[in-house]
Structure formats: C-alpha cells, structure tokens
Amino acid sequence: MSALNSILITGGAGYVGSVLVNNLVKQNYDVRVVDSLVYGNDGISKLIDDKKIKFFNLDIRETESLSNIVKDVDCVIHLAAIVGEPLCKKIPDAAKQINEFATKNFVNICKKNSVKRFIFASTCSNYGSSSNIVDELSPVKPLSLYSECKVNSEKYIVNQNNNKFNTCILRFATAHGLSPRMRFDLLVQEFLRDALIDKKISIFGEDFWRPLIHVNDMANACISVLNAPSKLVSGQIFNVGSSKENYTKKQLAEIIQKYVSEAEIEIVKSKTDPRNYKVSFEKIKKILNFEPKTTVEDSVIEILAKIRDGTMNPRDSEFSNMSKLTEKIHSLTTYQFDENL
C-alpha cells in the first residue's frame, strides 16, 4: 500500500476512470470520485451503492465544491476532460473551459489544500507529426484544440511542482479495450465496429503511426505513479505505452481483418490525417519498471467475444462520446482561469 492512501479521481465514471476506480477499490485505497455523469454511472454504480467509494456528481468547473472535496486527499488523478479532437471541435468553448481553465484552477485548489501528488492524464497526440521516433524530450506540436489544451495544462502543472506538491504528467498512447463504460468511437474499436457492421474498414493516412495502450494498462500506469517514491515521479513527464505497440493504421486494420475475415480494407486517398507519431516508452519502463501487458490483438479477441455472445452491441449509441456528450455539455459564459484561486 502506498503512503498516499486517500485518492481522488476526476472523471472516475468514464472509460478509463471506471477501470481505475475499480482497481483502486480492490487494492483497498480510500477512493473519492468526481464525475458529471454525462455518460451515466454504469461503470461504478455498484461501488456507489455498496458505499465502497465517496461519489460527488460535479462538473469539474464547480470550483467552490471542489475545494471542500480535496481536503484530506493525498493524491489526485485528473482524468476529467472532453476527450479527442472531434468532440473538442464540436463544443470548442466548453472544451477550452474544461480541458484547460478548469484543470489549471483545480491544480491551484489542490496545491492550496495540501494535496501531496497530482497526476495528470495527457496524450501522445501532443507530438503532432514527426518522421522520427519521439520521446519526452521531443518538441510538442499540438495540431488540434484537444492537444493544445493538454500542452497548455502540462506547462502550467509542471511549473507548480515542488517538494510538497509533486506533479506528474502521463502522456497516454491511444486507448483501446473493454471497460465497464465502453466506447466504440476509439480507433481500434471504431475499426472493429465498421468491420462487423459495414464489412469494410475505411482508412485514411494508412501508413501513419499510432501508439496503442489497453485501458487496464492505463489504470495500472496511474497506480504505478501513485506507488512510486517522489524522487522518481516529481515534476516528470512519462509517455505511457509500449514501444512494441506502435502500429500504422493499416496494420491495425489487418489485425482486425484476421478475426473478421469478411471485412475488406478500403484506403481513402481523398482525406488526410495530419497526426503521425511513433513513440518511445523507454523512460517509464526504465524508471518505474512499467510495461503494458495487453496487446491490440488481445483486445480485439476480448471485445469480439463480448459482441459474439450477445453481451455487447457495437451499434448502441451509448458507446459513442459524440452522441451523448454534445447534448449535455455547455460552455459557461463567465468561466475563466483564475490564478488567485
């Protein structure tokens, strides 16, 4: 058990958060969760009913309420965000408020309330496009509002780091895999859904690289940082993934075709994808001895099993962030970053 026992997870009912919260409860941490429940609470409802966690139904922009919740919290794992470029593009004002302003405000609240460690979920898409393998020392080149907000938040968080308030940035590879709050609008799941429903996987930017990571490995990476001594993580940025799990989009489609043989692969030349990055994950492996355990192929097998036994239908709109989120999230007319918080 870590010396940091009281843990607050923002976005704890989401795709990654629900896996992380369940894992932390199993390891007997004192867990608090903040989530606006835009996607419902299916992933953590039993934990709430059984009083295994303290749950707060809040928007991350409700700063006054957050001040009370973080009292006596040892570590915050900040996952709450409008995730991905399509969503951020759809609701840009709310995305900027939540992904950047609220994050910075929340960091200040945590620091003021003597939180010992702040772990921030960022993204490898911050690297934008590079013909070389990128690592944590490579320049960031945000190509979207989503990554721009993440980069701005990262800079602010790193600058707040000190010996009493340890900050750590986790730049995650692209997520995939089964979660209690399932999504089919992520790259691997999207390709799998299209293969099953349309019998076709359409790809643009077929030779462009993406690093992938299973959602359970993402949760385990958060727990690794939580358990690590301060000297190893304080002020650090880690890419989180496996160097073996860098794939081109075409390679991903071919893995899926192996298991859904009737699906054809269509290369779309009329569209382009500006993001192209192959990532090194040697730092987290060397410093924290962290290495993901689940491959893309494992993930495809486990998801297909759920679909084929009828437990899951990839057509359900509840599995898409786009279909639910845009109806419920609004920008707040006066919400800004307040450096005096």
What pLDDT is attached to residue 40?
A: 87
- Contacts of residue 231, defined as CB under 8 A and 6 or more positions apart, other chains included, come to none
What pLDDT is attached to residue 318?
A: 64
- pTM for the whole structure: 0.95
What pLDDT is attached to residue 259?
A: 97
Q: Where are the alpha helices (DSSP H) in the chain?
A: 17-26, 45-49, 63-69, 85-90, 92-96, 102-112, 145-160, 187-197, 215-227, 230-233, 249-259, 282-288, 296-308, 321-328
Task: Say if 13 falls within a structural domain.
Answer: yes
Tokens standing for residue 19: 């896996």
Task: Say if 17 falls within a structural domain.
Answer: yes
Task: Say if 261 falls within a structural domain.
Answer: no
What pLDDT is attached to residue 227?
A: 96
Per-residue pLDDT of the chain in tens (341 residues, 90 and over written 9): 468 999 999 999 999 999 999 999 999 999 999 999 988 898 999 999 999 999 999 999 999 999 999 999 999 999 999 998 888 988 999 999 999 999 999 999 999 999 999 999 999 999 998 889 999 999 999 999 999 999 999 999 999 999 999 999 999 999 999 999 999 989 999 999 999 999 999 998 889 899 999 999 999 999 999 999 999 999 999 999 999 999 999 999 999 999 999 999 999 887 666 778 899 999 999 999 999 999 999 999 999 999 999 999 988 866 666 655 666 788 888 899 988 87
Task: Say if 220 falls within a structural domain.
Answer: yes
Task: Say if 41 falls within a structural domain.
Answer: yes
What pLDDT is attached to residue 321?
A: 62
Q: Could you give the number of structural domains in the chain?
A: 1
Residue 340 phi, psi (nearest 5): -90, 0
Q: How many residues does the chain have?
A: 341
Amino acid (one-letter) located at 104: K
Task: Say if 300 falls within a structural domain.
Answer: no
What pLDDT is attached to residue 97?
A: 96
**Helix, strand, coil proportions of the chain in percent (round to 5)?**
40, 20, 40
Structural contact between residues 118 and 105, judged by C-beta atoms closer than 8 angstroms: no
Task: Say if 185 falls within a structural domain.
Answer: no
What pLDDT is attached to residue 203?
A: 93
- Residue 131 is part of which domain span? 6-178+212-245+277-294+324-328
The CATH code of the domain that includes 62 is: 3.40.50.720
Vertex 196, ends 195 and 202: CA angle to 5°?
20
Task: Say if 60 falls within a structural domain.
Answer: yes
What pLDDT is attached to residue 131?
A: 87
What pLDDT is attached to residue 84?
A: 87
